[in-house]
Amino acid sequence: MLTIFKKIFTWWNKDTFGTRLKTILFGKLVGSDSNGNKYYESKNGKRWVIYSDEIDASKIPVEWYSWMHFTPNKIENNHEIKKYEWQKPHQSNLTGTNKAYYPNKNKDNVNNKKYKSWKSE
């Protein structure tokens, strides 16, 4: 019962009732990515994505990002591009999480500055 209310009243939990209805009536599934996001297009050319879990635009991989923004490239018709072994898999924005990048992860290096901060006395 709580899931139904989430679908109707909240937009940050996957898709809303209106988006689901629009997708059923007017959407044509174009494809999906490795994260489980599904990409749709209407007959008049509008494009949208239904996220697999929490809505976050940084979860769209590069090949689908260009498709969403109508950027012409060689991937337009083939969204499964060859990845090289040196390429890292796509990650969403990790800012504010425990996996966020911090330049000085060593706490010892944080205190060893090359300058002294100005302090008022």
Give residue-wise pLDDT tens across range 80-101. Answer: 667 788 888 777 788 888 888 7
User: What angle separates helix 17-26 from helix 2-9, to the nearest 10 degrees?
Assistant: 70
Cβ proximity of 41 and 47 under 8 Å? yes
Question: First and final CA of the chain: distance in angstroms?
Answer: 60
Residue-range domain boundaries for the chain: 2-80
pLDDT class for 56, splitting at 50, 70, 90? confident
Q: Residue 70 has what DSSP assignment?
A: T
Q: Name the pTM for this structure.
A: 0.60
